Amino acid sequence: MRHTDSIEKLIAGRLARHLPLDETHLAGLLETPPSPEIGDYGLPCYALSKYLHKAPNDIAEDLRGKVELPEGVREAKADGPYLNFFLDRPAVTASVLKLIHGLGSAYGSDDVGAGKTIVIDFGSPNVAKDLGVHHLPSAVIGRALYRVYEKLGYRCAGINFPGDWGTSFGSLIAAVERYDVPDPDALTVSDLQELYVRYTRDAAAQPELLQTARDAFARLEQGESRATALWQAFRQIGLEEFDQVYGMLGVTFDHVNAESSYREQIDGMVRRLLDQGVAIESAGALIVPLDDENLPPCMVRKSDGTSLYMSRDIPAAEHRWEQFRFEKCLYVTGSEQSLHFKQLKAVLKRMGYEWADRIEHVNFGLIRMRDPETGKTRVGSTRRGEMVLLKDLLQEAVSRARAKIEESSGRFGQDADLDDLAAQVGIGAVVFSELSTRRTRDVIFDWDSMLDFEGDTGPYVQYAHARLSSILRKAEQEVVDDVDFALLTLPEEWVLARHLAGFPAAVRRAAAESEPSVIATYLLELCADFSSYYSAGMRDPDRRVLCPADDLRAARLLLVDAARHVIRGGLELLGVAAPERM
């Protein structure tokens, strides 16, 4: 499954016979030259100078004469200070394409995760607030990591941990009471949002309202019936909204454990912290001093006796450990929560939990809005009405995709479901756009760049997939792996085959770095290779996949089929649809 990796090892092994360095070290030195004409692997000989006391150029030349080539390697050439190796292309191509043909969608899979569980906390929005574009990253990054780990053989537990407890619910309860809202059950999420905004604004002028809100939350925590009834109504409204929006994205969870479900565990947790001497009282509140970790103190209970985020996250983490004995527990939330998770780990560590080290904060940058007047960017404020609703973004994406489809409606049959296709492409564009850059960067929200269908975008990858599908459809023949690989002589074919071999490595790296963009970048490169190859066949029928010569066509079909498997598999990992026509 790691074919080219093993060739690397073989080469390193042969080199080791003539050098005072071991195989592993040499394998690390091997690199890929800038272009395939220069070679498929290259060894820079500079580093060897100090061992051999010779000029790099002489070392390269000398080694070229001595080294015995392993199977799969055709030639070694000295190129200045580099010793370059050329692979036996038909042999390598055969091995890669046969592997993909045999494995199909399982290509790229691994079993390193067998028997291990990864817990992924993602989505996790606050109930009673609209789902804005800033909720997109957690949902799609979390889902992608889920699928990547699953591909590597791990068992995954996707957990949505909605924020349905806390002082903001006190604000809502206080708002309903203050403004005398007639029928709280009939409110929509947007109404709740508006209430919250109004209340917060009023509180800016009348600070005593903040206290009223905190008191209302205290009533809720004490189980007062009116506060509880209101909270239940808010919660219900919010959860229904989530189902709708996550449904549009196709994001699902294995478990929904809201913050409120841990409220019973808070007192016990606090007591243990006190008994263990981990927490102390300070200004009426309970804190865990974290001087040794060089962190600010961590508050676990407020001075009015109510709980806060941390009070619920600690029992939630304990529960997850009890339930899953996870290999890792990933929290996919914004970078602004970095300190929170450092503190969470530190507190759990102090409680004696070795597994605290298995917690990983998969952070991502903020989505910032550009002020049309000043041109400056800032975090979108709900209060100023700058927040773009995720629902609106997705709807706009679908309608733009639909318009684009109309331009080439001749491609589709009468029974084609163009609405469904528009959803696949439009939402695919949004999801891919979110996943195509490294997650820690802040992004400036822009309708047009998020909804672009050309260039390095999701639809570009989908389009390549549709073209591949089209070729295979038109071929009207079975794809077999019993072909003459020596016929695949075009440079583009070699580039494509070699790139296909790199998919498993991309999957592994995406997991190691918790970085779905590795997959997205890989797909864009692969599709660029394919698109060039495909376009070369535009003018020249002999370069087409569906060329006149039977044996050549069969070989090319196998290559094309493999590319389609990989692209589809990669899109699947990202949570992007792979339509057969578009």
Partner RNA sequence: GCGCCCGUAGCUCAGGCGGAUAGAGCGGCGGUUUCCUAAACCGCAGGUCGCAGGUUCAAGUCCUGCCGGGCGUACCA
Looking at residues 322 to 381 of the shown chain, list those that interact with RNA (rule: CB under 7 A): 335-340, 365-366, 378-379
Closest distance between RNA and the C-beta of residue 557, in Å? 9
Please select the residue that binds RNA; options are 351, 518, 523, 563, rule is CB under 7 A. 518
Q: Going residue by residue from 4 to 43, which x/- string records binding to RNA, judged by CB under 7 A?
A: ------------------------xx-xxxxx--xx--x-
Tell me whether residue 448 is exposed, middle or buried, using C-beta atoms within 10 angstroms of its C-beta: 0 to 12, 13 to 18, 19 or more. Answer: exposed
Question: Which residue, 251 or 518, has its beta carbon nearer to RNA?
Answer: 518
**Is the Cβ–Cβ distance between 273 and 285 less than 8 Å?**
no
Nearest to RNA of 102, 541 (CB atom)? 541
Which of 155, 297 has the CB closer to RNA? 297
> Please, what is the minimum distance in Å from the beta carbon of residue 142 to RNA?
16
Stretch touching RNA by CB under 7 A, among 90-98, 114-122, 400-408, 564-572: 400-408
- Tell me which DSSP letter residue 358 carries: G
14, 69 contact by CB (below 8 A): yes
Q: Which of 109, 200, 323, 531 binds RNA (CB under 7 A)?
A: 531
Name the nearest CA neighbour of 361 among 339, 389, 394, 391: 339
Q: Is 261 in the site for RNA (CB under 7 A)?
A: no
Judged by beta carbon, residue 156 or residue 213, the one nearer RNA is 213
d(Cα 522, Cα 189) in Å, to the nearest integer? 39
**How many whole angstroms separate alpha carbon 511 and alpha carbon 59?**
38
Please tell me the distance from the alpha carbon of residue 354 to that of residue 341, in angstroms, as a whole number: 16
- Whole-number Å distance between alpha carbons of 504 and 500: 9
| Residue 480 sits in the site that holds RNA (CB under 7 A) | no
Other Cβ atoms within 10 Å of 37 Cβ, number: 9
* By the rule CB under 7 A, 193 interacts with RNA: no
* Minimum CB distance to RNA, residue 530 (Å): 8
Question: Taking Cα atoms as reference points, which of 502, 487, 489, 495 lies closest to residue 36?
Answer: 495
Among 47, 69, 218, 256, binds RNA (CB under 7 A): 47
Residue type at 168 in one-letter notation: S
Q: Which residues between 149 and 168 bind RNA (CB under 7 A)?
A: 163, 165-168
**Positions in 274-313 near RNA (CB under 7 A):** 282-285, 287, 296-297, 299, 302-304, 306-309
CB atoms within 10 A of CB 281: 11
Is residue 66 close enough to count as binding RNA by CB under 7 A? no
Q: 413 is written with which tokens?
A: 């049959």
Compose the 412-451 pattern: x for residues touching RNA by CB under 7 A, - for all others: ---------x---x----------xxx-xxxxx----x--
Of 180 and 407, nearer to RNA (C-beta) is 407
Nearer to RNA, 82 or 122 (CB): 82
> Of 107, 242, 453, 503, which one interacts with RNA (CB under 7 A)?
453
Q: What SS3 state is found at 67?
A: coil
Instruction: Record the tokens describing residue 463, joined without a space.
Output: 């389009």
Name which position in 521, 552, 561, 567 contacts RNA (CB under 7 A).
521
State yes or no: residue 74 binds RNA (CB under 7 A).
no
117/342 with CB nearer RNA: 342
Dihedral angle, C-alpha 34, 37, 43, 45, nearest 10 °: -90
What's the min distance (Å) between Cβ of 193 and RNA?
A: 15
d(CA 60, CA 416): 60
What is the maximal distance between C-alpha atoms in the chain? 90
Binding residues among 85-124 for RNA as defined by CB under 7 A: none
Judged by beta carbon, residue 186 or residue 280, the one nearer RNA is 280
Residue 148: count of CB within 10 angstroms of its CB:
27
Give the shortest CB-41-to-RNA separation in angstroms.
8
Q: What is the spatial distance between Cα 522 and Cα 567, in angstroms, rounded to a whole number? A: 10
CA dist list (Å): 366 to 341, 369, 440: 17, 10, 8
Q: How far is the CB of 404 from RNA (least distance, A)?
A: 4
Is the Cβ of residue 156 or residue 443 nearer to RNA in the bound state? 443
Q: Hey, CA dihedral for 142, 251, 403, 399, is it positive or negative? A: negative
Record the tokens describing residue 347, joined without a space.
């507190």
* Binding-residue total with RNA (CB under 7 A): 106
Sequence-ordered strand ranges (E) for 390-515: 443-444
d(CA 163, CA 386): 22
Q: Residue 156 or 497: which CB sits closer to RNA?
A: 497
Nearer to RNA, 156 or 552 (CB): 552
- Decide if residue 67 touches RNA (CB under 7 A): no
Q: Does 240 bind RNA (CB under 7 A)?
A: no
> Alpha-carbon distance 31 to 83, whole Å?
11
Q: Which stretch binds RNA (CB under 7 A): 89-97, 172-180, 196-204, 541-549?
A: 541-549
- Contact (Cβ atoms closer than 8 angstroms) between residue 173 and residue 227: yes
Q: Strands 82-87 and 41-44: what pairing?
A: antiparallel
Task: Indicate the residue among 156 and 175 with the shorter CB distance to RNA.
Answer: 175
N-to-C CA span, the chain? 32
Element (H, E) at 130: none
Q: Residue 117 or 260: which CB sits closer to RNA? A: 260
Which residue's CB is nearer to RNA, number 502 or number 569? 502
Among 132, 137, 184, 459, binds RNA (CB under 7 A): 459
Q: How far is the CB of 62 from RNA (least distance, A)?
A: 16
- What amino acid is encoded at 465 in this protein? H
Quote the least distance from Cβ 72 to RNA, whole Å: 18
Query: C-beta of 218: minimal distance to RNA in Å?
Result: 10
- Asked if residue 543 binds RNA (CB under 7 A), the reply is yes
Rounded to an integer, what distance in angstroms lies between the CA atom of residue 288 and that of residue 350? 9
Find the part of the chain contacting RNA (CB under 7 A) among 142-150, 264-272, 352-360, 521-529: 521-529
Q: Of 178 and 509, which CB lies nearer to RNA in the complex structure?
A: 509
Enumerate the H helices of 485-549 as residue ranges: 491-500, 503-512, 517-539
The reply to whether 2 sits near RNA by the rule CB under 7 A is no
